[in-house]
Structure 1
């Protein structure tokens, strides 16, 4: 395990970050398509391929691409860090004044690079591609619809439906978000939470060019849970509200039980239910307080590296973003 670097060079206008996991059928083609678009629209570019520990030959192809074009750079993770940490880390390692994140499977069309750059040059700090429609099975579409609905209902800020993370981000935006040191970054929510000047470009998402999608139900559930944990603090306070309701129910049952006792009725049933409701309320209150404390501890202790690198190729010798806890595994 080695680290190959090149001398320092002028920062390009555009960086394109492409996360990969078992994309041997796509990685060479997506690099060729992205290079053609970047050369047409950008004043200098780099392509960063970040591999999440592929097992299908993707890494060998990435090495060949890096050997053939020094503008193509590679990061090899020492294990699979999931579909949130690895892509976000790749974005944070980019050097361009504008950074585009996109998938390797052509479902994020390279032809939109020019449109993204145009909106960014016009003043937008974040430009997101918004999927109009997608050819997917109805259970998958229903799961996405439900997930977005939950995030809209409980989230602390609005999540843009159909925005999957494909888009352009100003380098200042990325530097700001990197400084948050989120251990499990829900990036598509973070860019909205930051309140940056945001533009949206709708597009029709094509089918995957080759390979198998990694966005199955378990991946979608992971996204939803991370989004709720990171952007829906009201859920942590839900037990406190349940406690208040339970106490009101307990009070009502206690009053009814006292009235029944005065009238000689079966007061013990109502009083027993009142006790159960009161105990439930106390339990919910403590759960809410513990949840709030855990939230505060989490926000104060975000100091975990997103990934540990095994190797990086074609990066300038001085390239290492200081705001990010970066570990390179040595031989």
Structure 2
């Protein structure tokens, strides 16, 4: 890290946020200027088809502290924000949304907690107004993560928060091609603090997080942070093999008591076959996981252009 690197980096992903891009930039700049330390504001645009990029380019021309990355295509809401975070040069990195549902006025509190010694400071939403379908997806996501995930996640923490530079570097070393960033934060083992807040209404525009987008996000995050899920077939197979042994014992007892033996034997054989199939699937899934972990080298995004980044950045 050079002497010219800023103390703070604020990263804001965008996609079709022409109504919010300039207002969120003004709000964040105002809060960061009140904090008083040097900062950079990085926007990463995930292939908007409105005037978002045009407006942000104009802002970059007027303020060198504002930087812009424009993706060559839509790389999804897991990969694009994470790539933006990896480009940050600050001693602490703040990640937030562009639609004001992550309130900029919390930034000084994040900084205060970080300066008190916490490596990760996350905002936790107290309320989440949504449709029944979206609520079900969120509950399923939290239940699945708690049940099958390798590391606990913090419910209603969307990733809005501040991360020490060491945390970002540790997450980057994992080289996850579909990064579930808020789960990977916990995976690092660094200290976490939380700040509760009431989620404001979206300032303008239409959210990209519909039912299917959130469902895809939930399934991708579960697949990315869960080795246990791949091993579920192994447990099911073991239970079935135990059941086949019980059926076999029951058949022996039935024969001793003068009953029919063959139904129990047939049931034991069928159960053993299904159990063996599940064990095979579990072993194959674990092998696929190991192959994946050994070969993860996929870039998160491909950039079309970047603005206001120096060569050393």
Same fold (TM over 0.5): yes
* Residue 276 of structure 1, CA deviation: 1.2
Q: What residue number does 1:150 align with?
A: 144
Corresponding residue to 1:59 among 53, 64, 77: 53
Pair 1:230 & 2:224 matched: yes
> What secondary structure is seen at the aligned counterpart in 2 of 1:74?
strand
Relative contact order, higher structure (CA 8 A, sep 6+): 1
* Residue 197 of structure 1, CA deviation: 1.2
Contact kept, 8 Å, 1:135 with 1:207, in 2: the verdict is: no
Q: What residue number does 1:107 align with?
A: 101
Q: What residue number does 1:248 align with?
A: 242
**Aligned positions of 1:1-331 closer than 5 A:** 10-263=4-257, 265-319=259-313
* Residue 26 of structure 1, CA deviation: 0.7
Contact kept, 8 Å, 1:134 with 1:206, in 2: the verdict is: no
For residues 209 and 236 of structure 1, what CA distance do their matches in structure 2 show?
41
For residues 51 and 270 of structure 2, what CA distance do their matches in structure 1 show?
60
* Residue 65 of structure 1, CA deviation: 1.1
Contact kept, 8 Å, 2:124 with 2:155, in 1: the verdict is: yes
Q: What residue number does 1:324 align with?
A: none
For residues 98 and 162 of structure 1, what CA distance do their matches in structure 2 show?
22
- Superposed CA deviations along residues 279-300 of structure 1, whole A, max 9, x for unmatched, are 1111111111111111111111
For residues 24 and 296 of structure 2, what CA distance do their matches in structure 1 show?
34
For residues 42 and 247 of structure 1, what CA distance do their matches in structure 2 show?
65
Gaps of 5+ in 2: none
* Residue 113 of structure 1, CA deviation: 0.7
For residues 28 and 285 of structure 1, what CA distance do their matches in structure 2 show?
55
Contact kept, 8 Å, 2:141 with 2:222, in 1: the verdict is: no
- Superposed CA deviations along residues 42-96 of structure 1, whole A, max 9, x for unmatched, are 4111110000011112111111111111111000111101000000000000011
- The TM-score normalised by the length of structure 2 is 0.96
* Residue 259 of structure 1, CA deviation: 3.5
Aligned CA RMSD, in angstroms, stands at 1.5
Contact kept, 8 Å, 1:76 with 1:309, in 2: the verdict is: yes
> What secondary structure is seen at the aligned counterpart in 1 of 2:178?
coil
* Residue 213 of structure 1, CA deviation: 1.2
* Residue 118 of structure 1, CA deviation: 0.5
Gaps of 5+ in 1: 1-7, 320-331
Contact kept, 8 Å, 2:8 with 2:94, in 1: the verdict is: yes
For residues 96 and 220 of structure 2, what CA distance do their matches in structure 1 show?
20
* Residue 166 of structure 1, CA deviation: 0.2
- The TM-score normalised by the length of structure 1 is 0.91
* Residue 173 of structure 1, CA deviation: 1.0
How many residues of Structure 1 are paired with residues of Structure 2 in the alignment? 312
